[in-house]
């Protein structure tokens, strides 16, 4: 499984005393969720972190604490895997009292009719072709099929989530 992605975005101003209006933005992806581990399209399905996901979030918090970064506010999606990761990170870096703003607007991409399906599902590839499945998985420009598209749901069939 992939390790938690930690991206620290800083300005050159970090090398000089911080001036009013100059801030450091830290972006952290949530820890591994149960569906990440199972290689499923997750999207807006609210699935929990795995033990590894919790460990990764704690590790990220420890790294942030070691670097002396201090947060004014933390923003997270309303999905459990995101806000739990945020809480664990803040706790590990000793900043549990930081204001946390949750918003559904920060939720992951909605995978529509693909949610819950295995990313390497033969039924998806058979129904839509490997190129489409890869595009839906990787592209920001190609939307996955809608949950409300009856043609897609008929192609997938009632047992498609089982494969």
Please give the span between the terminal C-alpha atoms of the chain, in angstroms, as a whole number.
21
**How far is CA 22 from its chain centroid?**
27
CB of 102 closer than 8 Å to CB of 78: yes
CA distances from 42 to 19, 91, 114 (A): 40, 26, 8
Residue 76, SS3?
strand
Active-site residues: which are they? 30, 108
Which residues make Cβ contacts (< 8 Å) with residue 152, sequence separation at least 6? 113, 145, 146
DSSP alpha helices (H): ranges in the chain? 34-37, 51-66, 80-92, 122-128, 130-138, 150-156
Nearest to 80 by CA among 135, 36, 139, 38: 36
């Amino acid at each position: 499984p992939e390790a938690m992605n930690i991206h620290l975005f800083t300005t050159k101003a970090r090398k000089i005393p911080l001036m009013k209006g100059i801030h450091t933005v830290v972006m952290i992806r949530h820890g591994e969720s149960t569906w990440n581990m199972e290689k499923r399209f997750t999207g807006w399905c609210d699935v929990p972190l795995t033990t590894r996901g919790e460990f990764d979030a704690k590790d990220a918090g420890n790294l942030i604490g070691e670097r002396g970064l201090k947060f004014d506010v933390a923003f997270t999606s309303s999905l459990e895997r995101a806000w739990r990761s945020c809480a664990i990170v803040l706790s590990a870096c000793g900043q549990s009292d930081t204001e946390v703003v949750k918003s559904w607007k920060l939720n992951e991409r909605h995978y529509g009719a693909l949610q819950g399906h295995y990313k390497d599902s033969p039924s998806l590839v058979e129904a839509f072709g490997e190129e489409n499945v890869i595009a839906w998985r990787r592209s920001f420009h190609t939307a996955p099929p809608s949950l409300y598209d009856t043609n897609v749901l008929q192609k997938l069939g009632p047992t498609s989530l089982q494969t």
